[in-house]
Structure 1
Amino acid sequence: MADEEKTETGEGAAAPKKGKLKLIIAVVGFLVVLGAGAGGWFFFMRGHGEEQHAEAPPPKPPAFVDVPDLMVNLAGSPGERVQYLRLKIVLELKEEKQIEAIKPTMPRVTDIFQTYVRELRPSDLNGSAGIFRLKEELTKRVNAAVAPIQVSAVLFKEVVVQ
């Protein structure tokens, strides 16, 4: 009989431990699901309401300034046929009010462009890579010439090598 009581008490004690373990696992699982839901809301839903109220102002359109047309002879080896380069250039500025500030410096810009372009050889202008290098170099030089004003880009309307 003593053996039967021990067996019953041993089994009785094991049953409540399994019940507590299942309860703990269920509570931890519930907390994990709750935490995942809160994290999902935090990352995906928080801030959607704020975006509707704050609209960015529309960007200002760029301003353009024409540079007087350039026609120069390209540097070549003695005895070669003389080749000419004709350029029609437009400067892209960020704001309309910069146009009036840049107009007095146009003779300086033209001089810098002519000085640089006269040193080019016809092989320097071959392909799109040559034109891209020319554009980048002219942009760098015009920004140095009109220092407080920033020119966004030098745009070509026409490039003719004769």
Structure 2
Amino acid sequence: MAEEEETENEEAASGGGRGKKLLVVGAVVVLALVVGAAGTWWFLWAGGEEPAQATAGDEASAQSDKAEEPGELYKMDEFVVNLARSSRTRYLKTTLQLELDDQSLVKKVEKRQPQIRDALIILLSNQSVDGLEQMEGKYQLKRQVVARLNNLLGDDAVRNVYFTEFVIQ
């Protein structure tokens, strides 16, 4: 009889263990549902601070759009220069357009045209054919032109330079 009582006690204990496991799993599922519902409510209806953040974001977006607007374009006359460091005479024929920071710089560029052309002729004629045949060489030349012109016209007067014609012969 003692053996039968022990077997009944073990069965009762193991049955109670299943009930506890089921209760714990149920509690975890209910907790997950409550947390999910609270999170959904928070993101959909309780975001009272979002309009202020959106307004600040809109202002930043408007400023970046303004910065991305193209500047005033100024077309330079054609340049034809001898290229340096080549075994035979090689020429570069190019036309540039300057992207200026604002309209007021057009008169300044027109007034300083001789200095600008001089600086660009010296810079262009110092380039090698090998360097200009590579894409990176052209990008490096663009950066050098912008830097040289900003030295002449003032910081950030020229935003970018565009080659509208670029022929090496």
Structure 2 partner of 1:71: 80
What amino acid sits opposite 2:36 in the alignment?
A: A
Structure 1 partner of 2:35: 35
Give secondary structure in 2 for the equivalent of 1:68: coil
Give secondary structure in 1 for the equivalent of 2:126: coil
**Residues in 1 aligned to 2:121 and 2:94: alpha-carbon distance in whole angstroms:** 10
Structure 1 partner of 2:14: none
Give secondary structure in 1 for the equivalent of 2:156: coil
**Residues in 2 aligned to 1:152 and 1:160: alpha-carbon distance in whole angstroms:** 23
Query: Are 1:90 and 2:90 counterparts?
Result: no
**Residues in 2 aligned to 1:133 and 1:62: alpha-carbon distance in whole angstroms:** 21
Give secondary structure in 2 for the equivalent of 1:148: coil
Indicate if the aligned counterparts of 2:101 and 2:156 stay in contact, CA closer than 8 A.
no
Query: Are 1:106 and 2:113 counterparts?
Result: yes
**Residues in 2 aligned to 1:126 and 1:66: alpha-carbon distance in whole angstroms:** 24
Q: How many residue pairs align between the two structures?
A: 159
Any residues of structure 2 matched to 1:44-63 within 5 Å, and which? 50=51, 57=62, 59=66, 60-63=69-72
Alpha-carbon offset, residue 132 of structure 1: 2.3
Indicate if the aligned counterparts of 2:119 and 2:148 stay in contact, CA closer than 8 A.
yes
Give secondary structure in 1 for the equivalent of 2:167: strand
Give secondary structure in 2 for the equivalent of 1:120: coil
Alpha-carbon offset, residue 159 of structure 1: 1.1
Alpha-carbon offset, residue 139 of structure 1: 2.1
What amino acid sits opposite 1:73 in the alignment?
A: N
1:127 to 134, 140, 164: 134
**Residues in 2 aligned to 1:88 and 1:68: alpha-carbon distance in whole angstroms:** 6
What amino acid sits opposite 1:72 in the alignment?
A: V
**Cα deviation digits, residues 52-86 of structure 1 (max 9, x gap):** 9x585564443201223211112245xx4322211
Rate the CA distance shift 1:32–1:151 in 2: closer, same or farther, 3 A: same
**Cα deviation digits, residues 8-40 of structure 1 (max 9, x gap):** xxxxxxxxxx99997787566434322233334
Which structure shows the bigger proportion of residues in helix conformation? 2
Structure 1 partner of 2:159: 152
Rate the CA distance shift 1:122–1:23 in 2: closer, same or farther, 3 A: closer
Structure 1 vs Structure 2: percent identity of aligned residues? 26
Give secondary structure in 2 for the equivalent of 1:92: strand
Indicate if the aligned counterparts of 1:67 and 1:91 stay in contact, CA closer than 8 A.
yes
